[in-house]
């Protein structure tokens, strides 16, 4: 049974999202390193350290974003992209049926 939504557009959107996430990864890695350095400040109160630990954990969640992108890709039915590309190869005229 053919799908009614565009597998190609979803795949292309995930490519764009992944590209943006890839660009952001370096910034998140730097933020994590700086937060870890802040934890080494002498005589840091425990309540501040707790916030820094949580901050580092939040920054590490970038992996959750990558996992979500992969989950979207896995939910695209096998062969749907190829089938859609085959249908639109000769133009994007909508079927009358």
pLDDT tens digits, 49-88: 999 999 999 998 888 999 999 999 999 999 988 888 888 7
Asked whether residue 92 is assigned to any structural domain, the reply reads no
Asked whether residue 84 is assigned to any structural domain, the reply reads no
Asked whether residue 94 is assigned to any structural domain, the reply reads no
Asked whether residue 33 is assigned to any structural domain, the reply reads yes
Measured between alpha carbons, how far is 90 from 97 in angstroms, rounded to an integer?
A: 18
Q: What is the pTM of this model?
A: 0.72
- Do 7 and 80 form a contact (C-beta atoms < 8 A)? yes
Asked whether residue 30 is assigned to any structural domain, the reply reads yes
Query: What does the pLDDT read at residue 96?
Result: 56
Asked whether residue 27 is assigned to any structural domain, the reply reads yes
Asked whether residue 61 is assigned to any structural domain, the reply reads yes
**61 exposure class (CB count in 10 Å sphere: 0-12, 13-18, 19+):** exposed
The total number of structural domains in the chain stands at 1
Domain range enclosing 16: 7-78
Asked whether residue 93 is assigned to any structural domain, the reply reads no
């Amino acid at each position: 049974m053919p799908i009614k939504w565009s597998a190609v557009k979803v795949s292309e959107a995930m490519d764009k999202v992944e590209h943006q996430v890839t660009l952001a990864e370096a910034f998140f890695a730097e933020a994590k390193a700086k937060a870890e350095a802040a934890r080494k400040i002498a005589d840091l109160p425990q309540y501040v350290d707790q916030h820094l630990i949580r901050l580092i954990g939040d920054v590490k969640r970038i992996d959750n974003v990558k996992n979500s992108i992969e989950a979207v890709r896995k939910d695209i039915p096998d062969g749907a992209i190829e089938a859609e590309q085959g249908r639109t190869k000769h133009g994007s005229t909508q079927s009358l049926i």
